[in-house]
């Protein structure tokens, strides 16, 4: 397992100030892992049918990139909910059912897994509060992003000082949905029509989840951007649930996006 390249995550320019204040983050790709076959690369999905020891080794490599031990990699059992959990330095490896995490404690890594859904990392560098959210369409529509901001505020963050970035996720060019999906969004808010465009299939539409996610973040009063990277379009770099489904593969891996406050 020692002959594989080390993880080399993508970073956001929005977190430059946070990095200078001891907050490190990364949107990890498939590069640097030991999984094989359809899971090839850095699969961190404990819920996948990949070999458990390989998934755990991949998680160790992610933790090592932060200079921390694997038991300090906090993740949750994601269910497309609006729920957020607060994590502190006593974190012991449990995976509560939720879709976002926040902390003000150094030495704990907050990680969210994705394979088309949107991984969003948050930081208030001044207050020393960070967050990570898994936002698929259900989470984005249901309020997981806004709830993450509220949870950060409960730890002392100021809304106007929070920065967030959406990592690699499926783009509108590859996300076709049916009419009932569109109707659900329009019923929630007619302004959401801006995130749908005609597809080649009658009655269907292409859905811009990335655009919706960033709009929800900026409407919540924080500074936000998207990396603009599509998971579906790049099989060498990213896992994709939708691409796997279209290919008829039996399972898929998950990449991780993570953030941590450095210990002094």
Per residue in 198-230, pLDDT (tens digit) is: 999 999 999 999 999 999 999 999 999 999 999
**Given pLDDT bands bounded at 50, 70 and 90, which one contains residue 5?**
confident
Q: What is the Cα gyration radius of the chain?
A: 18
pLDDT at position 228: 98
pLDDT at position 10: 98
Strand order in the sheet with 205-207: 176-177, 205-207, 196-198
pLDDT, tens only, 56-65:
999 999 999 9
Q: How far apart, in whole angstroms, are the C-alpha atoms of residue 198 and residue 80?
A: 26
**Given pLDDT bands bounded at 50, 70 and 90, which one contains residue 72?**
very high
| CA-based nearest residue to 115, from 47, 25, 205 | 47
The predicted model scores a pTM of: 0.97
**Given pLDDT bands bounded at 50, 70 and 90, which one contains residue 4?**
low
| Residue range 162-169: mean pLDDT, rounded | 98
Q: Does residue 252 surpass a pLDDT of 70?
A: yes
Contact between residue 10 and residue 168 where contact means Cβ atoms under 8 Å apart:
yes
Contact between residue 254 and residue 240 where contact means Cβ atoms under 8 Å apart:
no
Every domain of the chain and the residues it spans: 13-169+224-261
Q: Does residue 2 surpass a pLDDT of 80?
A: no
Q: Does residue 264 surpass a pLDDT of 80?
A: no
In percent, the amount of the chain with pLDDT more than 90 equals: 97
| Residue range 99-109: mean pLDDT, rounded | 98
Q: How far apart, in whole angstroms, are the C-alpha atoms of residue 258 and residue 28?
A: 8
Contact between residue 255 and residue 58 where contact means Cβ atoms under 8 Å apart:
no
pLDDT at position 240: 98
Q: How far apart, in whole angstroms, are the C-alpha atoms of residue 165 and residue 15?
A: 8
CATH class of domain segment(s) 13-169+224-261: alpha beta
pLDDT at position 1: 42
The DSSP-derived string for 57-84 is HHHHHHHHHTTS-GGGEE--B--S-S-E
Contact between residue 215 and residue 192 where contact means Cβ atoms under 8 Å apart:
no
In percent, the amount of the chain with pLDDT more than 70 equals: 98
pLDDT at position 3: 58
pLDDT, the chain, mean: 96
| Residue range 88-117: mean pLDDT, rounded | 96
Q: Does residue 31 surpass a pLDDT of 80?
A: yes
| CA-based nearest residue to 75, from 152, 133, 24 | 133
Q: Does residue 235 surpass a pLDDT of 80?
A: yes
Q: How far apart, in whole angstroms, are the C-alpha atoms of residue 223 and residue 203?
A: 35
Q: How far apart, in whole angstroms, are the C-alpha atoms of residue 166 and residue 70?
A: 24
């Amino acid at each position: 397992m020692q002959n594989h390249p080390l993880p080399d995550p993508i970073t956001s320019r929005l977190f430059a100030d946070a990095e200078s204040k001891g907050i490190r983050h990364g949107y990890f790709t498939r590069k640097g892992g030991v999984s094989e076959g359809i899971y090839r690369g850095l699969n961190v999905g404990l819920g996948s049918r990949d070999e458990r020891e390989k998934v755990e080794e991949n998680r160790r490599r992610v933790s090592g990139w932060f200079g921390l031990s694997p038991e300090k990699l906090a993740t949750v059992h994601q269910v497309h909910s609006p729920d957020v959990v607060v994590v502190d330095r006593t974190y012991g490896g449990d995976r509560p059912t939720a879709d976002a995490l926040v902390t003000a404690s150094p030495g704990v890594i907050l990680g969210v897994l994705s394979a088309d859904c949107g991984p969003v990392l948050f930081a208030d560098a001044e207050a020393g509060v960070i967050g990570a959210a898994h936002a698929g369409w259900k989470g984005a529509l249901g309020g997981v992003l806004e709830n993450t901001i509220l949870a950060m505020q409960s730890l002392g963050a100021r809304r106007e000082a929070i920065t967030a970035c959406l990592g690699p996720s499926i783009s509108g060019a590859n996300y076709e949905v049916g009419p009932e999906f569109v109707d659900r969004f329009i019923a929630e808010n007619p302004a959401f029509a801006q995130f749908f465009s005609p597809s080649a299939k009658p009655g269907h539409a292409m859905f811009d989840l990335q655009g919706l996610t960033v709009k929800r973040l900026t409407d919540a009063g924080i500074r936000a951007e998207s990396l603009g990277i599509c998971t579906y379009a790049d099989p060498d770099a990213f896992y994709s649930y939708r691409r796997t489904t279209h290919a008829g593969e039996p399972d898929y891996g998950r990449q991780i996006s993570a953030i941590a406050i450095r210990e002094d």
